[in-house]
Amino acid sequence: MSRLNRWENNRSAWLFLAPALVLIGIFFFLPVFASLLLSLTDFDIYAIADSANARFIGLRNYTGLLDNDVFWVAVKNTFYFALIGGPLTVAVSLGAALLVNARLTPLKSLFRTIFFVPFVTTLVAVAIVWRYLYHPQYGFFNYMLSWFGIDPLQWLGDPQLAMPAIILMAVWKNFGYNMLIFIAGLQNIPAELYEAAHLDGAGPFRRFRHVTLPMLGPTFLFVGVITMIGYFQLFAEPYVMTAGGPLRATTSMVLLMYEEGFRWWRMGIAASVAVFLFVIILAWTLLQFRLQKESA
Amino acid sequence: MKSQTATRVLLYCALAIGSLLALLPMIWMVSASFMQPGAANTYPPRLLPENPTLEHYRTLFTRLDLGQYLVNSTIVAGIATVLSTLINSMAGYAFAKLRFRYRDRVFRLLTLGLVIPVQVAMLPLFLLMRELGLVNTYWGVIIPALASIFGIFLMRQYAISIPDDLLDAARIDGAGEFRIYWSVVLPVMRPMLATLAIWTFLATWNDFMWPLIVLSDDTMFTLPVALANLAGERVQDTELMMAGSVLTILPVLIVFMVLQRYYVEGITVGSVKG
């Protein structure tokens, strides 16, 4: 009876798993693996017509990218966005979480919802809205700057400012998600710790520094990893707001991959950009885990 | 006492300014969508429409086929949501509650997939879809969204807490494994199913890059793709673009507002315990 049961269990388990595993296998893991192979070929528009036209060319796509200025610009822009935008988003998220979670805050769930709304909106739609908010002549941002006597800025038209403008929008769009996770993290900190710190004479700042921050360690790791993985994949914002310009100042790695692969159909080159991105994300994630372990 | 009042004032100011910043872009979007043509391009910018008009909404539905995109997005997000909730919950339940060989190994392999950015798969995925004749079809958009590693995680996390006694009792009663899943497991997992369903709906509705790649004919476009396309052609028509943005965002906002309790719970379960 029990052996039969176990066998039955075993077979039905695989039936339960089959749809998910087959789909993920065929439509995710297989293409990921195929990307590695694709990056070693000169697959281009002729190969789209007939895949017999693709040839194996070893690592030439990779060496070609290393000699390609646009690629390095895209790498630089991607790091700029992730390294400035990521920490900024996490900081704003933590600030919002502390604000919503503060003892004196009324209507906590209302404010939580308000701060979370930008996150659920459609990125393409809000990117279009922000493009108008950044309008040099009629936009709200320049209007608000004028209150402080600051001359109008070109925002998305200025190669120096275009990326900061996109970062600002990304922070606005994404901080609500991390905020929810921080709120959950804050609520998991035992109240006794604060009471003990209070009795030891620690003020609000020192309680934050020595109780809140250390207790949020695992939350920071989770939020940091998720945010950075997402930010390295920057695509829709520059696609909609700047088309990668001006002067390539907002061309990200994924945008470059899209242009190479789906505009010019140079899929071999595009695949090698994708593999570079994968390596960067993997290395960065491992680094974050390592740093967390060392500081803990 | 005095310092508490000061703290309170400071806190309220921060909450008010924060809320204003969070909502201002949306408020302006809605307001500009009702403005007369050209009225959004004035200095200083106006926050409220002077002579509100529905003209842009009419244009979107009559001349620009927005109804079609709305239908496309609803079909794609609807089918993906129903099927993926079923598929992910089945897999999550199996990983949590059924015993089988290689369970931990298969699960670890899936975990690895979490650090692979989806864009890495997209080039060969497009070629695969082309081979299957699925380019420019609803299924071409839906299929890659049908099973998600994250969704399976979420489900497994929740299913682990189902008491084994409950399942064994059903087995002793002679229920088959699928019966047990359908009439015992699913009802227990209802809150988490709701979470995953909302999550998937929002993600597929808002998704941009993959639909942009796999859809080529503009009658098949989902709303975000159509909107990005329109933004290129009608960049001068600020008010029209805002009306299009409102219609794109409104459905997800409604879904979120109605079901936010589940959504918010799910996010925190996925992170803190995961």
Say which of B44, B91, B144 has its CB closest to residue A20.
B91
A246: exposed, middle or buried (C-beta count within 10 Å: 0-12, 13-18, 19+)? middle
Contact B25 A24 (CB under 8 A): no
Which position has the token pair 């933004």? B231
Q: What is the mean pLDDT of residues B18-38?
A: 92
Q: Is residue A9 predicted with pLDDT exceeding 70?
A: no
Question: Buried b / exposed e across A180-199, counting CB within 10 Å, b at 16+?
Answer: bbbbbbbeeeeeeebeebee
Instruction: Tell me if the domain spanning B54-273 has CATH number 1.20.272.10.
Output: no
Percent of chain A at pLDDT above 90? 70
Residue B1 pLDDT class (50, 70, 90 cuts): low
Residue A197 pLDDT class (50, 70, 90 cuts): confident
C-alpha–C-alpha distance, residues B143 and B155, integer Å: 20
Chain A neighbors of B91, CB-CB under 8 A: 16-17, 19-21
Q: Is residue A290 predicted with pLDDT exceeding 70?
A: yes
Q: What is the mean pLDDT of residues B104-113?
A: 90
Chain B neighbors of A235, CB-CB under 8 A: 119, 208-209
Chain A neighbors of B271, CB-CB under 8 A: 181, 184, 219, 222-223
Domain boundaries, chain B: 54-273
Our CA-based measurement puts residue B79 at a distance from the nearest CA of chain A, in whole angstroms, of 15
C-alpha–C-alpha distance, residues A3 and B118, integer Å: 41
With a CB cutoff of 8 Å and minimum separation 6, the contacts of B178 are A12, A15
| ipTM of the predicted assembly exceeds 0.95 | no
Per-residue pLDDT tens for B12-21?
A: 999 999 999 9
Say which of B18, B128, B143 has its CB closest to residue A99.
B18
More confident residue, A58 or B134: B134
Tell me, what's the pLDDT at A2?
47
Tell me, what's the pLDDT at A89?
97
| Domain at A68-295: CATH code | 1.10.3720.10
B54 backbone dihedrals φ, ψ, rounded to 5°: -100, 5
Check residue A97 and report its DSSP letter: H
Residue B118 pLDDT class (50, 70, 90 cuts): very high
Chain A neighbors of B125, CB-CB under 8 A: 27, 31
Q: Is residue B272 predicted with pLDDT exceeding 80?
A: no
Q: If you measure CA to CA, which chain B residue comes closest to A122? A: B206
Tell me, what's the pLDDT at B273?
44
- Residue window 66-95, chain A: list those with CB within 8 Å of chain B: none
C-alpha–C-alpha distance, residues B92 and B86, integer Å: 10
Q: What is the pTM of this model?
A: 0.92
Inter-chain CB pairs, A–B, below 8 Å: 271
Q: Is residue B38 predicted with pLDDT exceeding 90?
A: no
C-alpha–C-alpha distance, residues A259 and A250, integer Å: 13
C-alpha–C-alpha distance, residues B244 and B230, integer Å: 9
C-alpha–C-alpha distance, residues A94 and A179, integer Å: 6
> DSSP for chain B?
-HHHHHHHHHHHHHHHHHHHHHHHHHHHHHHHHTSPTTTTS-SSPPSS-SS---HHHHHHHHTS-HHHHHHHHHHHHHHHHHHHHHHHHHHHHHHHH---TTHHHHHHHHHHHTTS-THHHHHHHHHHHHHTT-TTSHHHHHGGGS--HHHHHHHHHHHTTS-HHHHHHHHHTT--HHHHIIIIIHHHTHHHHHHHHHHHHHHHHH--HHHHHH--STTT--HHHHHHHHHHH-TT-HHHHHHHHHHHHHHHHHHHHHHHHHHHHHHHIIIII-
C-alpha–C-alpha distance, residues B55 and B250, integer Å: 18
Residue B273 corresponds to which tokens in the numbers above? 């315990």
Say which of A17, A23, A285 has its CB closest to residue B115.
A285
CB of B264 within 8 Å of any CB in chain A? yes
Interface test with B, best of A89, A121, A260 (most B CBs within 10 A): A121
Tell me, what's the pLDDT at A217?
85
Interface test with A, best of B1, B83, B123, B208 (most A CBs within 10 A): B123
Residue B247 pLDDT class (50, 70, 90 cuts): very high
Tell me, what's the pLDDT at B269?
63
State chain A's mean pLDDT as an integer: 91
Q: Is residue B74 predicted with pLDDT exceeding 70?
A: yes
Domain boundaries, chain A: 68-295
Q: Is residue A82 predicted with pLDDT exceeding 90?
A: yes
∠ at Cα B74 (B73, B80), nearest 5°?
Answer: 90
More confident residue, A239 or A295: A239
Interface test with A, best of B27, B47, B118, B120 (most A CBs within 10 A): B120
Q: Choose the weakest-confidence range: A3-12, A85-94, A145-154, A203-212.
A: A3-12
C-alpha–C-alpha distance, residues A181 and A112, integer Å: 11
Residue B104 corresponds to which tokens in the numbers above? 């931990």
Rg (CA), chain B: 23
